[in-house]
Structure 1
Amino acid sequence: MAKAAQTKKSRPRTKRRSKTPTLRARVRTWLLRGALGVAAAVLALVCVFAVIRPPTTPYILAEGLRHGEVKREWVSFGEIAPVMVRSAVAAEDANYCLHWGFDMNAIRDALEEGANRGASTISQQTVKNVFLWQGRSWPRKALESLLTPVVELVWSKRRILEVYLNVAEFDQGVFGVEAAARHYFGVAAKDLSATQAARLAAILPDPKGRSAKAPSDFVRRRAAQIVDGAATIRADGRAACFER
Structure 2
Amino acid sequence: MGIHRTLRRKISIALVFLLLFPCVMLLVLRVVPPPFSAFMAERYIAGMLEEKKGRGMRYQWVPLDSISPHVALAVVAAEDQKFLRHWGFDFQSIRLALEEGADDGQYRGASTITQQVAKNLFLWNGRSLIRKGLEAFLTVWVEVLWPKKRILETYLNIAEFGEGIYGVQAAAKVFFKKQASQLSRREASLLAAVLPNPAKYRVPAPTTYVLKRSLWIQRQMKNLGDAYLRNVTQ
What TM-score does the superposition give when structure 1 sets the normalisation length?
A: 0.85
1:53 equivalent in alignment to 2:43: no
Is it true that 1:65 corresponds to 2:65 in the alignment?
no
Secondary structure (helix, strand or coil) at the match of 2:72 reads helix
- 1:73-108, Cα deviation, whole Å (9 max, x unpaired): 111000110000000000000111111111122112
Larger Rg belongs to: 1
CA deviation map 1:145-199 (0-9, x unaligned) = 1121211121111110100111111111111111111111111111111111111
Displacement of 1:136? 1.4
Alignment-mate amino acid for residue 215 of structure 1: P
Query: What is the DSSP-based 3-state SS (H/G/I as helix, E as strand, rest coil) of the residue aligned with 2:161?
Result: strand
One-letter amino acid of the structure 1 residue matched with residue 190 of structure 2: R
**Equivalent in the alignment of 1:142:** 133
The answer for the alignment partner of 2:52 in structure 1 is none
- Identity fraction in percent: 38
The whole-number CA distance in structure 1 between the counterparts of 2:128 and 2:6 is 29
- 1:131 alignment partner AA: F
Q: Does 1:210 align with 2:201?
A: yes
CA distance in 1 between partners of 2:140 and 2:2 (Å): 41
- Contact map agreement 2:42 2:124 (CA 8 A) in 1: no
**Does the 8 Å contact 1:58/1:133 carry over to 2?**
yes
Q: 3-state DSSP class of the match of 1:21?
A: helix
> Does the CA-based 8 Å contact 2:88-2:115 persist in structure 1?
yes
SS at 1:98's partner residue? Answer: coil
| Partner residue in 1 for 2:15 | 35
Q: How far is the alpha carbon of 1:132 from its aligned partner? A: 1.5
Name 1:199's counterpart in structure 2. 190
Matched residues in 2 for 1:173 and 1:243: separation? 26
Letter in 1 for 2:86: H
Give structure 2 stretches of 5+ with no counterpart.
49-55
1:111: how far off? 1.8
Aligned residues: 223
